[in-house]
């Protein structure tokens, strides 16, 4: 148990780098022999998230019931105690529910991000329908709850991915919090929580949907008929060249036999309506034909020179490293990983190009728009030729509204037997 807790601290978010070195580096004995700094807290059940400040190199850990602040050499500086607290699944985010029986409930950290423009730490947890707190970066025990908004998943296991990136320029603050959340059931207070949204970081409007219009806004909901039968797991999020992306695991169709596959979601930063919401499958197929269908973890970084050459890109270009597992069952109908895994690497330039091609293909009248779990699917219609490159402007996406398409094909694979 102790070993697991220590290792968790070391492998995240550098998991992918460690995959290239012998697994020996992860053993506890080695950590001690090499005199590595170690931080552990035997009182804590689990470390959920870790983030390191780019400049101060302070380390923040979101855990069960606690948020830790460590120095760059892993000396404990502060602990914010976040739980257990009196809560009930039947109590709204305002916590006013005099007639509901509350009981001590654990806080599971679901998101931990540094807001660099405003120098603060944002932490979101499962308590109180998934609210977020804002902490002082020099003392995490000093925090406020600036809004009664359900932002993240409300239970210990449902997935949440959150990251800060540019939002529409028309908003008072240019940076927003992008959040992807699995649906956790049909209670009175979770039905309004979008699957993917951009949340405001403006002090006057904290954590609210960044832009709301009459019928649209910076959010996407899975339609009420599909929610229960179409679970989406959010694995990782990042932004690149004017777009935000989520790596997800979803079903291939809403209709049977529904194997699970991995998909990338993309939203244009400038789009206040989320019309630009687009998905492409993320395929990781080994040379022997095995389809590693379930994305487990991912990271955007730079390739080494050899990898760059094999992908046909420059060493400065970003790539998406993603670790996949194959479903336990042959027909991939369960979102449960088998021990076999593979690492696939995609050039972001190729990912970007694939989204653009898919959108153009649709405008040329081929295929359908897919995504019937969000909106009833429609055929693609021939549309006036698009300005290229396809980026930046909301108008273009009025046409591209919510589309699915084909996977990028050029990627490198490394398979890792159990």
Ligand X SMILES: *[C@@H]1O[C@H](CO)[C@@H](O)[C@H](O)[C@H]1NC(C)=O
**Which of positions 161-190 make contact with ligand X (CB under 6 A)?**
184-185, 187, 189-190
Exposed/middle/buried for residue 412 (C-beta within 10 Å: 0-12, 13-18, 19+): middle
- Residue nearer to ligand X on the CB measure, 3 or 225: 225
Stretch of 13-21, 146-154, 163-171, 357-365 contacting ligand X, by CB under 6 A: 146-154
- Residue nearer to ligand X on the CB measure, 193 or 396: 193
**Which of positions 308-347 make contact with ligand X (CB under 6 A)?**
310-312
Stretch of 11-19, 115-123, 142-150, 354-362 contacting ligand X, by CB under 6 A: 142-150
- Residue nearer to ligand X on the CB measure, 184 or 296: 184
Print burial letters for 243-258: b (CB count within 10 Å at least 16), e (below 16). bbbbbbbbbeebeeeb
Judged by CB under 6 A, does residue 222 bind ligand X?
no
CA angle, 205 as apex, 202 and 210 as ends, to 5°? Answer: 80
Q: Which of 410, 414, 415, 416 binds ligand X (CB under 6 A)?
A: 410
Q: Which of 69, 154, 160, 358 binds ligand X (CB under 6 A)?
A: 154
- Residue nearer to ligand X on the CB measure, 89 or 281: 89
Q: Are 88 and 101 in contact (CB under 8 A)?
A: yes
Spell out, one character per residue from 71 to 100, where the chain touches ligand X: x when CB under 6 A holds, - when not: ------------------x----xxx----
Judged by CB under 6 A, does residue 205 bind ligand X?
no
- Residue nearer to ligand X on the CB measure, 138 or 212: 212
Nearest approach, Cβ of residue 157 and ligand X (Å)? 4
Sorted by sequence, the CB contacts under 8 Å of residue 182 that are 6+ apart come out as 153, 158, 159, 160, 195, 231, 232, 233, 234
- Residue nearer to ligand X on the CB measure, 166 or 356: 356
Nearest approach, Cβ of residue 89 and ligand X (Å)? 3
Q: Are 95 and 163 in contact (CB under 8 A)?
A: no
Report the candidate in 266, 286, 284 with the shortest Cα–Cα distance to residue 321.
Answer: 284
Stretch of 29-37, 140-148, 243-251, 368-376 contacting ligand X, by CB under 6 A: 140-148
Give dist(CA 371, CA 253) in Å, integer: 9
Give dist(CA 117, CA 136) in Å, integer: 13
Stretch of 52-60, 151-159, 173-181, 391-399 contacting ligand X, by CB under 6 A: 151-159
- Residue nearer to ligand X on the CB measure, 44 or 410: 410
Judged by CB under 6 A, does residue 158 bind ligand X?
yes
Nearest approach, Cβ of residue 333 and ligand X (Å)? 16
- Residue nearer to ligand X on the CB measure, 18 or 189: 189
Q: Which of 12, 155, 356, 378 binds ligand X (CB under 6 A)?
A: 155
- Residue nearer to ligand X on the CB measure, 272 or 322: 322
Q: Which residues contact ligand X by CB under 6 A?
A: 89, 94-96, 146-148, 154-158, 184-185, 187, 189-190, 310-312, 410, 412
């Amino acid at each position: 148990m102790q070993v697991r807790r220590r290792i968790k601290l070391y492998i995240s978010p550098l998991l992918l780098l460690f995959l290239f070195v012998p697994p020996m580096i992860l053993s506890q004995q080695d950590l001690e022999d090499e005199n590595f700094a170690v931080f552990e807290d035997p009182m804590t059940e689990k470390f959920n998230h870790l983030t390191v400040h780019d400049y101060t190199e302070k380390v923040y850990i979101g855990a069960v019931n606690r948020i830790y602040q460590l120095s760059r050499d892993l000396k404990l500086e502060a602990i914010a105690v976040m739980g257990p607290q009196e809560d009930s699944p039947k109590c709204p985010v305002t916590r006013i529910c005099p007639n509901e029986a509350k009981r001590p409930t654990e806080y599971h950290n679901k998101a931990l991000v540094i807001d660099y423009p405003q120098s603060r730490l944002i932490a979101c947890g499962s308590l109180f329908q998934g609210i977020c707190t804002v902490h002082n970066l020099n003392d995490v025990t000093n925090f406020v709850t600036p809004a009664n908004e359900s932002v993240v998943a409300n239970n210990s296991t449902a997935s949440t991915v959150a990251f800060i990136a540019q939002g529409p320029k028309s908003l008072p603050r240019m940076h927003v919090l992008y959040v992807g959340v699995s649906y956790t059931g049909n209670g009175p207070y979770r039905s309004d929580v979008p699957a993917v949204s951009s949340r405001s970081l403006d002090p006057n409007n904290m954590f609210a949907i960044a832009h709301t219009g009459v019928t649209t806004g910076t959010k996407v909901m899975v339609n009420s008929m599909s929610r229960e039968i179409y679970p989406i797991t959010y694995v990782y999020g990042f932004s690149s060249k004017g777009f935000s992306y989520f790596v997800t695991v979803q079903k291939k169709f809403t209709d049977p036999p529904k194997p699970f596959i991995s998909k990338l979601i993309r939203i244009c930063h400038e789009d206040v309506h989320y019309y630009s919401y687009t998905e492409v499958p993320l395929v990781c197929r080994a040379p022997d034909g095995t389809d590693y269908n379930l994305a487990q973890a991912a990271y955007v970084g730079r390739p080494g020179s050899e990898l760059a050459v094999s992908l046909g890109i420059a060493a400065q270009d970003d790539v998406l490293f993603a670790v996949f597992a194959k479903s336990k069952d042959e027909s991939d109908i369960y979102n449960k990983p088998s021990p076999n895994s593979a690492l696939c690497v995609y050039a972001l330039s190729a990912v970007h190009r694939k989204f653009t091609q898919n959108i153009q293909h649709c405008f040329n009248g081929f295929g359908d728009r897919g995504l019937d779990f969000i909106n009833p699917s429609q055929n693609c219609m021939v549309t006036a030729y698009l300005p290229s490159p396809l980026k930046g402007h909301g108008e273009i996406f009025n046409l591209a509204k919510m589309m699915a398409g084909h996977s990028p094909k050029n990627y490198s694979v490394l398979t890792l037997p159990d």
